[in-house]
Amino acid sequence: MDKVVETAEDIRSMRVRGAGRIARHAARALGDLARERENLDLEELRDELIRARDILLRSRPTAVSLWNGVQAVMRGEGEALTSGELRERIIENADAFVERSERATRSIGEIGSRRINDGDRILTHCNSSVALSVIKTAFEQGKDIEVIATESRPWKQGLITSRELSEVGVPVTLIVDSAVRWAMKDIDMVLVGADTISSNGAVINKIGTSQIALVAQEARVPFVVCAETYKFSPRTLSGEPVEIEERDPAEVAGADELPPEVKVLNPVFDATPPEYIDYIVTEIGLIPPYASYEVIVRMLGQEYLFEDTDE
């Protein structure tokens, strides 16, 4: 269980971050737990897995990818008749989820890149592995593109994006978050990731995303979201609101920088309404945000996470 606690701490502290990565990290931890626990009987193993699942789910509240990933690994745990069967099922589920998640990132790169034109200047926010998969794929196809990356306060994931793109040769310029409206006049497309997509098509992503969407709408610049289908939230279909994580105010300003009576808030995600979103690039194709309900129903109804729909 130590490793599970360590995994949860990696996610909580953002040593491992990004909605897709945290889902894979948690899935691997459950798979490893099942692999290691050869000596437990069925009930002991089941209890341990359920405890591990709950520890992992408590690590970060907003990205539904974590929840969907953990649910995918735990699928069918109640049906196993022996501990061997349970172990096998969890290991198989974990490997399948990780594999599917990595494949989805590549598929989104392929599909999304078809909408990028030679000469495009793309604005991206934070650090989304799927949005970057689209950009890198378009660049590998020989398209002459340029990226404007926002700093993304307070964690400055824009620096990670800038380094990552520059390493593969994509021309990239970093701007502060408040320079987005200034920059928008020369942008051809905004490309962002998602932590959660609700059944009404609202996209929950890094704080500041909804402001960028507003600016893009005003400037008539396409606003495109890149997200694997496990970022759509079945929980929102049953009316559950998406919890917006609020992190330590010290990430925004240190205690010694301000008088003690000043309150500092640090919400790290916001919701962009569907009317600001042109389309969502998923591994099953481009979908309008209003089709989110359909994606969720398919996921729920057909154990969607385990289908090979992108081949």
Contact residues for ligand RI2, defined by CB under 6 A: 17-21, 126, 128-130, 157, 192-193, 195, 205-206, 268
Q: Residues with catalytic annotation?
A: 126, 195
The values of phi and psi at residue 303, to 5°, are: 45, 50
Q: How far is the CB of 286 from ligand RI2 (least distance, A)?
A: 16
Assign 123 to helix, strand or coil.
Answer: strand
* Closest separation in Å from C-beta 128 to ligand RI2: 3
Closest approach of ligand RI2 to the CB of residue 160, in Å: 9
Nearer to ligand RI2 (CB atom), residue 90 or residue 203: 203
CB of 17 or CB of 53, closer to ligand RI2: 17
Q: Using alpha carbons only, what angle is made at residue 170 by residues 167 and 175, rounded to the nearest 5 degrees?
A: 95
Task: Rank residues 31 and 193 by Cβ distance to ligand RI2 and give the closer one.
Answer: 193
C-beta of 126: minimal distance to ligand RI2 in Å? Answer: 4
C-alpha span between 142 and 185 (Å, rounded): 25
Nearest approach, Cβ of 2 to ligand RI2 (angstroms)? 24
Do 246 and 308 touch, CB atoms closer than 8 A?
Answer: no
* Distance of alpha carbon 179 from the chain centroid: 24
With beta carbons less than 8 A apart as the criterion, state whether 270 and 204 touch.
yes
Rounded-to-10 torsion of CA 225, 226, 227, 232:
20
Q: How far is the CB of 196 from ligand RI2 (least distance, A)?
A: 9
Please state, in angstroms and rounded to a whole number, the distance separating the CA atoms of residues 22 and 18.
6
Complex with ligand RI2: residue 206 or 235, whichever CB lies closer: 206
CA distance linking residue 170 with residue 166, whole number of Å: 5
Q: What is the C-alpha to C-alpha distance for residues 161 and 123, in angstroms, rounded to an integer?
A: 11
Q: Which is nearer to ligand RI2, 4 or 66 (CB)?
A: 66
Contact at 8 Å (CB) between 195 and 65? Answer: yes
- Closer CB to ligand RI2, residue 59 or residue 157? 157
Strand duo 285-287 + 279-282: pairing: antiparallel
Cross-strand partners of 206: 269
Q: Which tokens sit at 220?
A: 């008539």
